[in-house]
Amino acid sequence: MIYIISNHHHEIFAFFLIRLNEIQVDFTSFQKVLNNQLENEFIYNYETEKLNQKSLLF
């Protein structure tokens, strides 16, 4: 799962929630997926819904 967390300045932080047996992480692939999520989901939802939540779960 990927948590996208936004603070009051709309700075975006991403964290992996991984299983104990999934230590190896391909951050290049992660960044590509993250960018797609931000463009297609997060920004639209945040700007149109004016979400009060501190975080969104994808």
The H or E element that residue 34 is part of is helix 27-37
- The pLDDT value given to residue 20: 45
- The pLDDT value given to residue 32: 72
Domain-wise residue ranges, the chain: 2-57
- The pLDDT value given to residue 47: 55
**How far apart are alpha carbons 41 and 57 in whole angstroms?**
11
> Could you read off the pLDDT of 8-48 as tens digits, one per residue?
555 555 555 545 445 555 566 666 776 766 666 655 555 55
Instruction: Please identify which residue in the block is written with the tokens 């700007």.
Output: 47
- The pLDDT value given to residue 57: 55
Instruction: Enter the pTM of the model.
Output: 0.21
